[in-house]
């Protein structure tokens, strides 16, 4: 069976980065399975997936060589080797609301999501620690007063748990581009409106105040722009004439849970592709 690795390269943009990384991998007898790169405001990011025949793969030589290359380039280079056909490892980010977390865990526990497993819950508050204990998952409460410090700590935790993708289950903090670059199209968020309408934290209130007749929710990949990432799945419900804001929020939360679960399942089919900012099923 092949040995697989995911390699991320992040830093200030400069000439020849892709060539130097791919040339090194060629010398190490690697087959490049996929490569994505992006430059935003002078910041370069690349995610590369490579594979080797077992007889041609020296994990230590590859890891040491990539670290040396990172120093030479003045960039952050990370290599993570993965077992073939292993289940994807998921981190769930929460704040205080439980409905999305409960819906996800019900799917994982029942086996309706077979090709992934939750491995850690991260929060900016301690409210849901008892719920994480109930589900038998490690829980880390990391204050978000200093976002740079908090994100650095979270990224370290995700490395330890070998996390493949992240689900924001009503996590009420904004992730910086520095964080998002490291998990491009691997962070799934749920927003309580039919994007692009009503971005931001008060979507239900905005919908209520505008008197909209259909309220929806959107699951999307997180991008550098707030609530503008590629859309994975959406759901909606009709607003009755006598519904209060509280009624709308309650109805919306039920749809949120369903849409977020649907988005995770779609992601795990590995049949989604992001082309010029639009998610397409392939």
Look at residues 41, 60, 82 and tell me which one is the last residue of a structural domain.
Answer: 82
* Mean of all residue pLDDT scores within the chain: 86
Whether residue 103 is found in the same domain as residue 71? no
Which pLDDT tens digit goes with each residue over 173-230? Answer: 999 888 988 888 889 999 887 766 666 667 767 777 777 677 888 999 998 766 677 8
| Full domain range(s) for residue 17 | 3-82
Given a cut of 90, whether residue 130 has pLDDT beyond it is: yes
Residues 178, 155 contacting (CB under 8 angstroms): no
Which pLDDT tens digit goes with each residue over 69-82? Answer: 999 999 999 888 87
Residue 3's pLDDT band (boundaries 50, 70, 90)? confident
- Going across the sheet that includes 31-40, the strands are 31-40, 43-52, 3-12, 76-82
Whether residue 136 is found in the same domain as residue 220? yes
Percent of the chain clearing pLDDT 70 (strictly above): 89
Beta bridge partners of 281: 272
Catalytic residue among 13, 159, 164, 227: 227
Look at residues 41, 66, 82 and tell me which one is the last residue of a structural domain.
Answer: 82
Which pLDDT tens digit goes with each residue over 146-189? Answer: 999 999 999 999 999 989 899 999 999 999 888 988 888 889 99
Residue 86's pLDDT is 75
Residue 21's pLDDT is 94
Q: What is the CATH number of the domain that holds 201?
A: 3.40.50.170
- Distance between CA atoms of residues 52 and 25, nearest Å: 10
Residue 276's pLDDT band (boundaries 50, 70, 90)? very low
Torsion of CA 223, 227, 232, 235, to 10 degrees: 170
- Of 18-27, 97-106, 239-248, which gets the smallest average pLDDT? 239-248
Whether residue 200 is found in the same domain as residue 120? yes
Whether residue 125 is found in the same domain as residue 30? no
Whether residue 232 is found in the same domain as residue 248? yes
* β 231-238/272-275 pair status: unpaired
Between 135 and 236, the higher pLDDT residue: 135
Residue 195's pLDDT is 61
Between 273 and 145, the higher pLDDT residue: 145
Whether residue 65 is found in the same domain as residue 112? no
Active-site residue flag, 227:
yes
Between 252 and 153, the higher pLDDT residue: 153
Residue 168's pLDDT is 97
User: Average of pLDDT values for 107-114?
Assistant: 92
- Distance between CA atoms of residues 205 and 214, nearest Å: 13
Given a cut of 50, whether residue 266 has pLDDT beyond it is: yes
Please write down the HEC assignment for all residues of the chain: CCEEEEEEEEEECCCCHHHHHHHHHHHCCCEEEEEEEEEECCEEEEEEEEEECHHHCCHHHHHHHHHHHHHHHCCEEEEEEECCCCCEEEEEEECCCCHHHHHHHHHHHHCCCCCEEEEEEEECCCCCHHHHHHHCCCEEECCCCCHHHHHHHHHHHHHHCCCCEEEECCCCCCCCHHHHHHHCCCEEEEECCCCCCCCCCCHHHHHHHHCCCEEEEEEEECCCCCCCCCEEEEEEEECCCCCCHHHHHHHHHHHHHHHHHHHHHHHHCCCEEEECCEEEEC
When divided into structural domains, the chain yields a total of 2
Given a cut of 90, whether residue 262 has pLDDT beyond it is: yes
Residue 157's pLDDT is 95
Whether residue 112 is found in the same domain as residue 227? yes
Of 230, 218, 212, 226, nearest to 193 (Cα)? 218
Look at residues 32, 55, 82 and tell me which one is the last residue of a structural domain.
Answer: 82
Whether residue 76 is found in the same domain as residue 105? no
Whether residue 162 is found in the same domain as residue 219? yes
Residue 161's pLDDT is 93
Residue 60's pLDDT is 83
* β 116-123/278-281 pair status: unpaired
Q: What is the CATH number of the domain that holds 28?
A: 3.30.70.260
Whether residue 141 is found in the same domain as residue 39? no
Whether residue 104 is found in the same domain as residue 53? no
Whether residue 17 is found in the same domain as residue 146? no
**Tokens 């849970």 -> residue:** 257
Residue 199's pLDDT is 65
């Amino acid at each position: 069976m092949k040995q697989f690795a995911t390699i991320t390269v992040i830093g200030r943009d400069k000439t020849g980065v892709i060539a130097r990384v791919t040339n090194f991998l060629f010398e190490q007898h690697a087959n490049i399975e996929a490569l994505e790169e992006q430059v935003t405001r002078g910041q370069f990011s690349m995610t590369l997936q490579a594979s080797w025949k077992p007889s041609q793969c020296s994990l230590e030589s590859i890891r040491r060589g990539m670290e040396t290359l990172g120093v030479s380039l003045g960039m952050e280079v990370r290599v993570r080797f993965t077992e073939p056909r292993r289940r994807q490892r998921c981190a769930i980010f929460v704040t205080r609301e439980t409905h999305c977390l409960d819906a996800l865990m019900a799917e994982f526990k029942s086996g309706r999501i077979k090709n992934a497993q939750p491995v850690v819950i991260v929060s900016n508050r301690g409210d849901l620690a008892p719920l994480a204990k109930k589900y038998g998952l490690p829980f880390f409460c990391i204050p978000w007063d200093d976002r740079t410090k908090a994100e650095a700590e979270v990224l370290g935790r995700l490395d330890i748990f070998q996390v493949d993708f992240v689900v924001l289950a009503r996590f009420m903090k904004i992730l910086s581009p520095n964080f998002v670059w490291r998990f491009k199209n691997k962070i799934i968020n749920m927003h309580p409106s039919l994007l692009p309408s009503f971005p931001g934290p008060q979507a239900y209130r905005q919908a209520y105040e505008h008197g909209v007749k259909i309220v929806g929710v959107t699951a999307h990949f997180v991008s550098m722009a707030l609530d503008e990432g590629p859309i994975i799945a959406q759901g909606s419900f009709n607003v009755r004439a006598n519904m209060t804001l509280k009624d709308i929020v309650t109805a919306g939360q039920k749809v949120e849970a369903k849409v977020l679960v649907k988005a995770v399942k779609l992601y795990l089919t590995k049949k989604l592709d992001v082309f010029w900012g639009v998610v397409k099923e392939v």
